[in-house]
């Protein structure tokens, strides 16, 4: 009886995403195994799974939350084939010291490594190589899912295929991921060849991306404070894996730390403009060899960097526009931001390619995406509402893993699926038709 009362109550906590906005009061449960998770699900009318809380918006927030961090075992890893099976709560940062010394890396990885495998599947994360490698689901072989009735289902392209694709990028609506099996990529070195290219404006930035289509990895920083002929200026980083035959150790050193929340006035239009000028001047054109960790996970070099935005937090607005609309749409977005007086501290541009037709919930479309980190202000929500209108007008969508304020449907998915109280057997049968 006492155990059941504890299951129903959970631990009352204040939760937020990485952006520290919004914050909600939640009953948090942390199951140690599938049976504990089943009891929690059956006791809950609604519940959302949560990994390491690194999604920027409200993706893993709710009245009742199942924290999966205790289900964090690496169940199997074959150094010969590069196939690995992990529980949902395993962090990518825990996998890297295991796979890299054996000559393996992720085909697709986001810009931070402190996310869970379950979160990577639920968000169907992408990286800097989407045109060539797609999203995480491209390399996902199968996963085990617990639905709202407590049943455990194995999902793959062959077994429960519709449920497989609904879950990838589905943000947890189909159930709770227990474990996943995916294919790794062979590497022979922990070094990357990086080429830094400057662009004087948005047109030149797009030209650089198009001219470097053959490059595997590409991402660019844009100075959103630049205007006029300089609008869209920035630096693009193109990279490839280097060959090698030395030992592949994964000693990344100890990151720096932001030990406290910065004052809310620290990031303002003047300081952000100064930061952008310094960043642009320091990132000079040229080629260099860079460690794998520093190229893929630069933000992980500073622990708790989100505290730089102060206790008010920030909002990341990330959208993707289809190819023909990308340039004009992004230029219109930048013009709208400039006229608003709001200034993003960070902005990242990426190019995207085709995706599997069945990956209906995946974020990227063939075109370009722009991620914008705004310090949160009273006027920001009104601006983001206007940006929603522009993104929709140009046929684009937002990234649900980053969303905190956008209206229903901006992910261009069927929002009826998110209103279901539970993933029922009847719904599962409909998906399998």
Q: 165: closest CA among 121, 221, 200?
A: 121
304: left (phi over 0), alpha (psi -120 to 50) or beta: left
pLDDT-derived band at 253, boundaries 50, 70, 90? confident
How confident is the prediction for the chain on average, in pLDDT? Answer: 92
Q: What is the pLDDT of residues 49-81, one digit of tens each?
A: 999 999 999 999 999 999 999 999 999 999 999
pLDDT-derived band at 93, boundaries 50, 70, 90? very high
User: Is 225 a residue whose pLDDT tops 60?
Assistant: yes
Q: What pLDDT, on a 0 to 100 scale, did the predictor assign at position 245?
A: 73
Structure-block tokens of residue 171: 């943000």
Q: How far is CA 404 from CA 150, 219, 388, in A?
A: 29, 24, 12
User: Is 422 a residue whose pLDDT tops 60?
Assistant: no
- 3-class SS of residue 290: strand
CB proximity list for 348: less than 8 A, separation 6 or greater: 111, 219, 220, 221, 222, 370, 371
Q: 302 forms bridges with which residues in the sheet? A: 256
How many Å apart are CA 91 and CA 354, to the nearest integer?
28
Q: What pLDDT, on a 0 to 100 scale, did the predictor assign at position 414?
A: 54
- Average pLDDT on 258-283 reads 94
> What 8-state DSSP symbol labels residue 148?
T
% of residues, the chain, pLDDT over 90: 88
Listing from the earlier edge strand, what are the strands of the sheet with 234-241? 286-291, 191-199, 234-241, 217-222, 346-352, 367-375, 314-322, 397-398
% of residues, the chain, pLDDT over 70: 93
User: What is the residue-wise DSSP string for 259-270?
Assistant: -SPPPTTSS-HH
Q: Which residue in the block uniquely carries the two structure tokens 């919004």?
A: 22
Q: What pLDDT, on a 0 to 100 scale, did the predictor assign at position 433?
A: 39
How many Å apart are CA 228 and CA 231, to the nearest integer?
5
How do strand 64-67 and strand 48-50 relate by DSSP bridges?
parallel
- Average pLDDT on 282-288 reads 95
Residue 147 C-alpha from the chain's centroid = 24
Q: What pLDDT, on a 0 to 100 scale, did the predictor assign at position 5?
A: 38
How many Å apart are CA 116 and CA 113, to the nearest integer?
8
User: Is 296 a residue whose pLDDT tops 90?
Assistant: yes
Alpha helices in 100-241 (DSSP H): 117-123, 130-133, 161-167, 202-211
User: Is 259 a residue whose pLDDT tops 70?
Assistant: yes
């Amino acid at each position: 009886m006492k155990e059941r009362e504890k299951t129903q109550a959970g631990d009352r906590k204040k939760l937020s995403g990485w952006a520290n906005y919004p914050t909600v009061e939640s009953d948090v449960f942390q199951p140690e195994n599938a049976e504990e998770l089943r009891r929690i699900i059956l006791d809950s009318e609604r519940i959302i799974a949560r990994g390491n809380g690194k999604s920027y918006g409200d993706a893993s927030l709710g009245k009742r939350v199942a924290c999966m961090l205790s289900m964090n075992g690496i169940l199997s890893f074959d150094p010969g084939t590069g196939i690995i099976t992990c529980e949902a709560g395993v962090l990518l940062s825990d996998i890297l010291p295991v796979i890299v010394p054996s000559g393996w890396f992720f085909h697709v990885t986001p810009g931070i490594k402190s996310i869970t495998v379950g979160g990577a599947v639920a968000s169907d994360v992408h990286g800097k190589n989407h045109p060539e490698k797609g999203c995480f689901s491209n390399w996902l072989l199968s996963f085990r899912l617990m639905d709202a009735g407590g049943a455990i289902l194995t999902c793959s392209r062959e077994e429960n295929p519709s449920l497989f694709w609904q879950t990838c990028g589905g943000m947890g609506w189909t159930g709770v991921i227990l474990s996943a099996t995916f294919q790794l990529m062979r590497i022979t070195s922990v070094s990357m060849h990086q080429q830094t290219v400057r662009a004087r404006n948005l047109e030149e930035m797009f030209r650089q991306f198009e001219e470097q289509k053959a490059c595997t990895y590409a991402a660019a920083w844009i100075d959103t404070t630049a205007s006029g002929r300089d609008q869209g200026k920035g630096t693009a980083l193109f990279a490839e894996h280097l060959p090698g035959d030395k030992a592949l150790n994964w000693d990344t050193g100890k990151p720096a730390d932001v030990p406290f929340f910065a004052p809310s006035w620290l990031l303002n239009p003047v300081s952000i403009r100064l930061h952008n000028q310094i960043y642009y001047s320091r990132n000079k054109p040229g080629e260099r060899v860079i460690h794998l960790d520093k190229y893929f996970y630069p933000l992980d070099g500073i622990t708790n960097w989100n505290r730089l935005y102060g206790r008010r937090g920030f909002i990341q607005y990330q959208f993707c526009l289809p190819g023909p609309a990308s340039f004009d749409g992004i230029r219109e977005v930048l013009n709208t931001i400039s006229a608003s007086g709001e200034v993003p501290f960070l902005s990242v541009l990426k190019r995207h390619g085709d995706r599997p037709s069945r990956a209906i919930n995946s974020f990227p479309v063939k075109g370009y995406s722009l991620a914008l980190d705004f310090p949160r202000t009273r006027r920001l929500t009104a601006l983001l509402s206007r940006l929603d209108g522009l993104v929709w007008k140009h046929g684009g969508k937002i990234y649900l893993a980053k969303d905190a304020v956008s209206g229903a449907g901006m992910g261009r998915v069927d929002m009826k699926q998110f209103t279901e109280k539970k993933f029922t057997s009847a719904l599962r049968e409909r998906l399998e038709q």
